[in-house]
Structure 1
Amino acid sequence: MLPVVALVGRPNVGKSTLFNCLTKTRDALVADFPGLTRDRQYGRVERGDRPFIVVDTGGIIEQAEGIEDRAMRQVHSALEEADLVLFLVDARSGLSPADEAIAQTLRKFTKPILLVANKTEGLDIPLAVAEFHGVGLKGEPCAIAAAHGTGIPELLVRVDALLPQVEAEEPAESAAGGARIAVVGRPNVGKSTLVNRLLGEERVVVYDQPGTTRDSIFIPFERNGRSYTLIDTAGIRRRSRVGEGIEKFSVIKSLQAIDKAHVVIYLIDASEGVTDQDANLLGLVLEAGRGLIIGLNKWDGLSHDQREQVKRQIDLKLTFLDFAEKHFVSALHGTGVGKLLEQVDRIHQSAGQNLSASRLTEILQQAQATHQPPLVRGRRIKLKYAHQGGHNPPVIVIHGNQTDELPGAYKRYLVNVFRAALRLEGTPIKLEFKGSANPYKDKKNVLTQRQVQKRRRLIKHVKKR
């Protein structure tokens, strides 16, 4: 396995900025706001002589309570699994009592520690770094400016020298090759609780407060020999209620996670019922063309009448998602959660299967034989043949005449026919229609020179008679 490097330090010293710099991504949410990162974020670094895994963590604070205490547990988990610790400090603000307390805590883990002085741009580096010798860590502090990439090559050389000699026998992308599952929904519906339940550990911060998750966390894992990547996302509220800039970026990251996923588990708080916001967000999932599972969470706490009311709301507000699988679960107690991954496998297989043109054309002809397309200006619409045009979701391209005039009701009929015949589960189907173009439609009636001469001889012959 690849060695693991953990980034730790007090809040707002640039850990997430360094994470993005090392991984050459924008996976970690960055803002001039202390305490933004709460969950562990993993990334692969290819920039040095040897690849390694880097872990972004939340800022370490003393006397953490409530949600901060949950974030500190994430930091301790990252320290326990790390082979090397990069202790980040802010060179501009200088050495603080909090830095000294963190250094004392890190010594208890008996892990190699490299002190990294960030935000050194425009400073006299020897002078700025000198006071950090006072924390009592071995080695010379490494001066960098993560926002500008300054000092990163020197940092990678130092990291490579401190990493253990471990052979990377299996690629890090092995787990990422399976289905990507995004857990999406409104705030405080139990998304992080469901993620932890599926993983069997406290992998992400869970707290009874809306907005606990701020970033989209990608978590590779394996179950029963299959690889998956879970994506825990921030809760999405109505646009009018999204106030601070950080929440806006969190919403953007959640929408990007939908695009990256193969299957979306949309979680609804059954105790609150199906809201208009749920219907709008599910419309975005449908537009992205992703496989869909609708999870009704906190189902075990409802009475019989409440359950029936929620089912009626689903039938009324989510009629456009008749293909989606519905699961009634309790993320907190684990009821019904075990069946989710089985359903994910079936949906992922349905969305990615290869469909032969002969089979699609046969289904199309049988559909027309059962129910013919309508007449348009006295002419029957003819659908000739079909073939596959893409995966995830399955795209079926249909060729014929007057396809632009095909009504929406008949298109929905074809979707239902294809879904039943191909046994597709939980995935939308996109139909694309291509009509036969008339090659003489836009051409002018221009006679050739030979035709003109022939017509003139014919006119002369008629006049002589």
Structure 2
Amino acid sequence: MVPLVALIGRPNTGKSTLFNRIVGKRLAIESDIPGTTRDRIFEKVSLNDKDFIFVDTGGLEFGQKMDIEADVQSQTKLAINDADLILIMIDAKSNLSSDDFYAADLIRKKGKKAILVANKCDNSRISDGCSELYQLGFGQPIPISALHAFGLDHLKSEVVNHLKDFDFQEQESKKNLKEIPIAIIGRPNTGKSTLVNALINEDKLIMSDIPGTTRDSISHYLEYNDKILKLIDTAGIRRKGKIREILERFSVMRGLNAINESEIVFWLIDSVEGITSQDKHVIQFALENHKGIVITVNKTDTFEDYQEEKNKFLNILRRELPFLPFAPVIFISALKRKNLTELLNISLQIDEHRKMRIPDDDFSLFLQKIIMQTAIPRKGKKVLKIHSGTQDGINPPTFTFHVNDRTLVHFSYRRYIENQIRQEYGFNGTAIKMLFKNK
């Protein structure tokens, strides 16, 4: 088991900036707007050969909150409950507030080990003025500037020293398991966070009927059939013209980056609203980046006649998505947790197909056969000649063809070759990358 370190504090103390510094990449959105982080954001970190899960949280505030802000507070309190070590983040440039004392009191009542972190210590004068922080009862604060990377080595060293007190042993067999990164994508309010929560059996993500609830791309780990699935919940991706606020623009950028880093995407479609041009925009990005794709039709618990409405939706998919014949379609209800096992099984099958390799001799014979089966593209007197073809990459499956003139490769002939490859070898559920190079 791996220890969990949670980053706690009131809004706008710089938690997300510190989180990004520690994990070494920009996973959490950084903004001067309080309350930017809503969900808990998890990432596995290794410091001096010590592994732990690092968690960024929304700002903890004193007093009763309503609606989605109440959910943010609940998420943060859950992080405190789950944590083995807590970093309490304080803004050294501001006086202590009721929110700071509220956070400290919560942590003390839970009996958690904690490190007091004084952020925004951009000069020695501010660092020297941290004496009032002793009132919180957690000893000497560690002065840092997350923005300017000041004091981070000292903080990391203290985190490692505290983690040595924990006797966590990660099973050796699990250390060697390769992660399969899966991005859960779709437009806002299709049930992405509900699906992640259903898969991991815990309410770690804020669920709401308000579109755009998830702002960051958030990773969670699920062990299934001796595989580690890294589930990435993304912000709802809209067309650029629909993105109005700057934080939402950052969220969409995170979502697109999550697709880039994934190997498979679960593309969630709302069965009530059907397929929109916005949906096609989302999946086109995944297709262009040669991802494994599962068309995941959610909210089937609203179907009155399941089989009839399922068949009707399949007909719509065939008509609207002729460019995705290879993608399996799974009908689920994330809310009712129906058909989720099939979704996970399909993802493992796609992972196997993405890593499948065809021997060169076998593929050469196959290529000669399919060339003979249909008319060769030509332009005037010039005829396409395919000199050779090999599979030179996996995950995604990548094929390179050496030809006399690649401008002669019409899109219909490219599609013909892809269809023949799929018919012969499978590669179910994944996009195939094909390159044509002049010889």
> Same fold, TM exceeding 0.5?
yes
Alignment match, 2:66: 65
Alignment match, 1:202: 203
Cα shift readout 1:406-448 (whole Å, capped 9, x = no counterpart):
3222221111001110011011222222344xxxxxxxxxxxx
**Residue of structure 2 aligned with 1:340, choices 343, 347, 351:** 343
Alignment match, 1:452: none
| 1:60-99 superposed matches below 5 A | 60-61=60-61, 62-99=63-100
**Residue of structure 1 aligned with 2:433, choices 430, 445, 453:** 430
Equivalent residue of 2:101, what SS?
helix
Structure 1 position 406 matched with structure 2 position 404? no
Conserved 8 A contact 1:4-1:54: yes
Cα shift readout 1:163-205 (whole Å, capped 9, x = no counterpart):
3143655579948723111000000000011111111211211
Q: Judging changes above 3 Å, is the alpha-carbon distance between structure 1 residues 171 and 118 closer, same or farther for their aligned structure 2 residues? A: farther
Q: Judging changes above 3 Å, is the alpha-carbon distance between structure 1 residues 99 and 320 closer, same or farther for their aligned structure 2 residues? A: same
Deviation at 1:156, TM superposition (A): 2.9
Alignment match, 1:116: 117
Deviation at 1:351, TM superposition (A): 1.3
Amino acid of the structure 1 residue aligned with 2:135: G
Deviation at 1:399, TM superposition (A): 2.7
Alignment match, 2:394: 391
Conserved 8 A contact 1:16-1:30: yes
Structure 1 position 377 matched with structure 2 position 387? no
Q: Judging changes above 3 Å, is the alpha-carbon distance between structure 1 residues 332 and 165 closer, same or farther for their aligned structure 2 residues? A: closer
C-alpha separation between the residues in 2 aligned to 1:190 and 1:421?
Answer: 36
Percent identity between matched residues is 37
User: Which structure 2 residue ranges, 5 or more long, are not aligned?
Assistant: none
Conserved 8 A contact 1:403-1:433: yes
Q: Over the residues paired in the alignment, what is the CA RMSD in angstroms?
A: 2.3
C-alpha separation between the residues in 1 aligned to 2:205 and 2:134?
Answer: 34
Q: Judging changes above 3 Å, is the alpha-carbon distance between structure 1 residues 21 and 309 closer, same or farther for their aligned structure 2 residues? A: same
Alignment match, 1:442: none
C-alpha separation between the residues in 2 aligned to 1:255 and 1:175?
Answer: 28
Amino acid of the structure 2 residue aligned with 1:411: R
User: Which structure 1 residue ranges, 5 or more long, are not aligned?
Assistant: 437-465
Alignment match, 2:23: 23
Bigger mean CA offset, 212-221 vs 393-402: 393-402
Alignment match, 1:439: none
Q: Judging changes above 3 Å, is the alpha-carbon distance between structure 1 residues 404 and 99 closer, same or farther for their aligned structure 2 residues? A: same
| 1:288-303 superposed matches below 5 A | 288-303=289-304
Conserved 8 A contact 2:4-2:52: yes
C-alpha separation between the residues in 2 aligned to 1:16 and 1:171?
Answer: 31
Q: Judging changes above 3 Å, is the alpha-carbon distance between structure 1 residues 315 and 429 closer, same or farther for their aligned structure 2 residues? A: same
Cα shift readout 1:282-325 (whole Å, capped 9, x = no counterpart):
11111011010111111231345755553343222211111111
How many equivalent pairs are there?
435
- Output the TM-score relative to the length of structure 1: 0.87
Rg larger in structure: 1
Conserved 8 A contact 1:186-1:236: yes
Amino acid of the structure 1 residue aligned with 2:57: T
C-alpha separation between the residues in 1 aligned to 2:372 and 2:156?
Answer: 67
**Residue of structure 2 aligned with 1:366, choices 363, 366, 369:** 369
- Output the TM-score relative to the length of structure 2: 0.92
Q: Judging changes above 3 Å, is the alpha-carbon distance between structure 1 residues 118 and 401 closer, same or farther for their aligned structure 2 residues? A: closer
Alignment match, 2:167: 166
